[in-house]
Amino acid sequence: MNAPTLLSSCARAATAAEARYRIDYPNSRARSSRIVALDDEAAAIMRRIEDDVWGDTHFLTFRARHPAPGIAALSIDATLARPDGGETRLSAELAGADVVVMIASSGAGIEACFVRNIMTAGLIVSRDRADPDVERAVRALRPYAAVLVIAADEEFVPAMLHALRA
């Protein structure tokens, strides 16, 4: 039976009055997010937003890369620093992560840490799109991030993280 319940059911269903009857419940579980600053400038941007209200979100700074033998999802493993100065491994952080956002700036020295099986975004913050370091960052991140954003202002960082329910 293909007929709708009522003729013009869309007309009724799309009204503001009917919107009141949408079921009110949390339609997603909390996401576990890992925000990884890949260079010093990105780390500084990240530090400025760490004290906002976040969910299960770990703010981490890239320190050094390591081979990742036997970890299928990773091209490399890495040492990451927590805000308190303690260290952790990328491979450990990714276990249970739903979203990874990598933040870079126009600063040099990107040695990105990548994962293929998690929702991954790369965010490059730079006012100067013509800076060759930006191009280097774009090239480094492009193969791995489902989306790359090149933003001129760092206010976009918290806007993006909140939009992704970090």
Partner 1 sequence: MLRKDVNDLLTQTGTGTAMGDLFRQYWMPALLAEELPENDCPPVRVKLMSERLVAFRDSEGRYGLIDEFCAHRGVSLWFGRNEEGGLRCPYHGWKYDYTGQCIEVPSEPEESGFCSKIKLKNYPLIKVGDILWTHMGDPENRPPKPEWEFATVPPEQTFTSKRWQECNWLQAMEGGIDSSHVSWLHSGALVSDPLFKGARGNKYNQGDKRPFFEVVDADGGLFIGARRNAEDGKYYWRITPWVMPSFTMIPPRGDHPVHGHFWVPIDDENCWAWSFDYHPVRALTRDERKAMQDGYGVHVKYTPGTYRPLANKDNDYLIDRAAQKRGETYSGVEGIAMQDASLQESMGPIVDRTKENLVSTDNGIIMARHRLRKAAVALRDKGETPPGVDPAHHKVRSASVVLPPDQAFVDACKEDLTVRPGVKQSSV
Given the rule CB under 8 A, which residues bind partner 1?
2, 4, 7-11, 13-16, 18-19, 22, 27-28, 99, 101, 119-121, 129, 135, 138-139, 142-143, 145-153, 155-156, 159-160, 162-165
Rounded Cα distance between 99 and 120, Å, is 6
CB of 153 to partner 1, least distance (A): 8
Those residues with Cβ within 8 angstroms of residue 144's Cβ, 6 or more apart along the chain or in another chain: 75, 112, 114, 115, 116, 120, 122
Q: Closest approach of Cβ 136 to partner 1, in Å?
A: 11
Closest distance of CB 42 from partner 1, Å: 17
Query: Is the separation of the CB atoms in 121 and 136 below 8 Å?
Result: no
Cβ nearer to partner 1, comparing 81 with 149: 149
| Cβ contact 40:106 at 8 Å | no
Q: What is the CA radius of gyration of the chain?
A: 20
Of 47 and 142, the one with the shorter C-beta distance to partner 1 is 142
- The candidate with the shortest Cα–Cα distance to 101, out of 148, 65, 69, is 148
Nearer to partner 1, 8 or 70 (CB): 8
Cβ proximity to partner 1, 81 vs 151, nearer residue: 151
